[in-house]
């Protein structure tokens, strides 16, 4: 299984990836995860590669071979959708964060409709998940990542209990309740599709 996760620095991509990788570990699989820290995190594009299965060599996913691309932001979804395999699935939050040069008026923005066209030209059945909006409604936009995990769980084979267990292990006790709520909310977002 090849999962590429992308978003903007500060969106919680790294915790999302930790949760997913530990989930695979708890299922007894070989797991590799690759990410980059440091300068790229300061509001820049962030990606992690997660691969799991009986035996994994490379920690990096090749373009055109991802089973899932999970995007926390729409422009980033378009930036990394080419990693998808033909049979792969894009799960993305249509939430937009303008890159700073666009915000400052130094670079032309790219409109929503154009992004939709670009996504459609690349993959036949993308799934939009209003994770940020849901997290905000729950009272903490920072749990966008765990809402996303709830949504993504629909495309993975792990039982709900395993997700909850790994959330309990990796999330600080004071934020446990809202994260479990976020996970459930993410799951039900896709039930309604």
Partner 1 sequence: MNRKLLSGDEAVARGAWEAGCQVAAAYPGTPSTEILETLARYPDVYCEWSVNEKVALEVALGAALCGARALAAMKHVGLNVAADPLFSAAYIGTRGGLVIVSADDPGLHSSQNEQDNRFYALAAKIPVLCPSDSQEAKDLTRLAFDISEEFDIPVLIRLTTRIAHGSSLVELGERQSKPVTGYEKLIAKTVLLPAFAKVRHFDLEQRIGRLKAYAETTPWNRIEPGDSELGIICDGVAYHYAREVFPNASYLKLGMVFPFPTELVRRFAATVSRLVVIEDGDQFIELQVRALGLQVTGKDRLPRVGELSPAVIRQALTKTNQRPEPEPDLPSRPPALCPGCPHTGIFYALQKQNVIIGGDIGCYTLGTLPPHNAMDTCIDMGASITFAHGADKALGTADPRPRIAVIGDSTFFHSGITGLVNVAYNQSNVIVIITDNRTTGMTGHQPHPGTGQTLMGKRTVELLPEQLACACGIKNVVTVDPYRVSETRKIVKELLSRPGPAVIVSRRPCALLVREKARPKVIDAEKCTGCKTCLRLGCPALRMEGNRAQVIDTLCVGCGMCADLCPREAIS
- Residue span binding partner 1 (CB under 8 A) among the ranges 81-89, 148-156, 171-179, 180-188: 81-89
Contact status: 53 vs partner 1 (CB under 8 A)? no
Q: Is there binding between residue 54 and partner 1 (CB under 8 A)?
A: no
Near partner 1 by CB under 8 A: residue from 81, 151, 167, 182 = 81
Q: What angle do CA 47, 70, 133 make, to 5 degrees?
A: 110
Among 2, 4, 13, 35, binds partner 1 (CB under 8 A): 35
The one segment of 32-40, 152-160, 175-183, 184-192 that binds partner 1 by CB under 8 A: 32-40
How would DSSP label each residue in 119-171? HHHH-SS-EE--HHHHHHHHT-GGGHHHHHHHHHGGGS---HHHHHHHHHHHS
The 3-state DSSP composition of the chain as helix, strand, coil percent (nearest 5) reads 50, 20, 30
CA distance 142 to 133: 11
What residue ranges bind partner 1 (CB under 8 A)? 8-9, 21-22, 25, 30-45, 56-60, 62-64, 75-76, 78-82, 84, 98-110, 118, 122, 136, 141
């Amino acid at each position: 299984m090849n999962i590429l996760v992308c978003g903007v620095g500060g969106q919680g991509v790294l915790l999302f990836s930790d949760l997913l990788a530990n989930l695979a570990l708890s299922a007894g699989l070989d797991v590799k995860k690759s990410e980059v820290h440091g300068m790229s995190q300061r509001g820049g594009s962030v990606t992690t590669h997660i691969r799991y299965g009986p035996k994994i060599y490379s920690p990096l996913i090749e373009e055109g071979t991802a089973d899932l691309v999970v995007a926390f932001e729409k422009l980033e979804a378009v930036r990394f959708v080419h990693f998808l395999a033909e049979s792969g699935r894009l799960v993305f939050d249509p939430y937009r964060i303008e890159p700073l040069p666009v915000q400052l008026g130094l670079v032309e923005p790219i409109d929503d409709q154009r992004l939709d066209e670009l996504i459609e030209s690349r993959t036949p059945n993308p799934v939009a998940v209003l994770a940020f909006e849901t997290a905000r409604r729950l009272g903490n936009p920072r749990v966008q990542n765990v809402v996303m995990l709830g949504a993504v769980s629909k495309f993975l084979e792990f039982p709900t209990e395993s997700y909850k267990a790994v959330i309990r292990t990796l999330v600080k006790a004071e934020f446990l309740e809202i994260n479990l709520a976020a996970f459930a909310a993410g799951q039900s977002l896709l039930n309604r599709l």
